[in-house]
Amino acid sequence: MSSTTDKRVINLLVNDDFINYVINPNLILVEMWDEFFDAHPAMIPVAEEAKAILQGQIIADPISLQTQQELEASILKQCGLSIG
């Protein structure tokens, strides 16, 4: 994965709506993501990669320390927490 794709895939992997769309889809999520992908067709391959990771079809490449820290900060922010 390239660094740009890395961040876009990671953003989907920490997005609760996307996770639920992949793991436990419902009509609202399907409609929401269909609209998103219609508006942003370049995100379809990114979403397919994230979907494959969530479904265990592929193993994500190891991530850099910087990407790991960004991911941790994103997760904490989504939880309403902050570092330090």
pLDDT tens string 52-73: 988 888 765 666 777 777 777 7
Sequence ranges of the domains in the chain? 3-78
Q: Which pLDDT score is estimated for 6?
A: 79
Higher pLDDT, 11 or 69: 11
What is the mean pLDDT of the segment spanning 36-63?
Answer: 87
d(CA 28, CA 13): 19
Q: Name the residue among 32, 68, 27 with its Cα closest to residue 47.
A: 32
d(CA 51, CA 12): 9
